[in-house]
Amino acid sequence: MAEAVKRIPKGETRTYRQIAEYIGQPLACRAVGNALNKNRNPKVPCHRVIREDGSVGGYGMGGAEKKLELLHKEGVKI
């Protein structure tokens, strides 16, 4: 899953569902979110994975506000 997230280009986002589908587990959206929330590797850009409704969701390395800040720095409008 980390490799799938690393492939998201700077300035773009994917949903938890898209990551789940990419790794061949289309029903594992919640598991993807939980796993990414526990990630502490800064080389995995978890902040680029958002909820299907367009909201940012959680972020284990600083909270939703930090996630939103990182996305804005990359030019993503949420």
| Residue that the structure tokens 């280009």 belong to | 9
CB 14 within 8 A of CB 71: no
Which residues have C-beta within 8 Å of that of residue 65, sequence separation ≥ 6? none
* Catalytic-labelled residue, pool 1, 20, 36, 46: 46
Tell me whether residue 29 is one of the annotated catalytic residues. no
Q: Determine the Cα–Cα distance for residues 59 and 33; give it in Å rounded to an integer.
A: 9
Q: Amino acid identity, residue 46?
A: C
Residues with a catalytic annotation lie at: 46
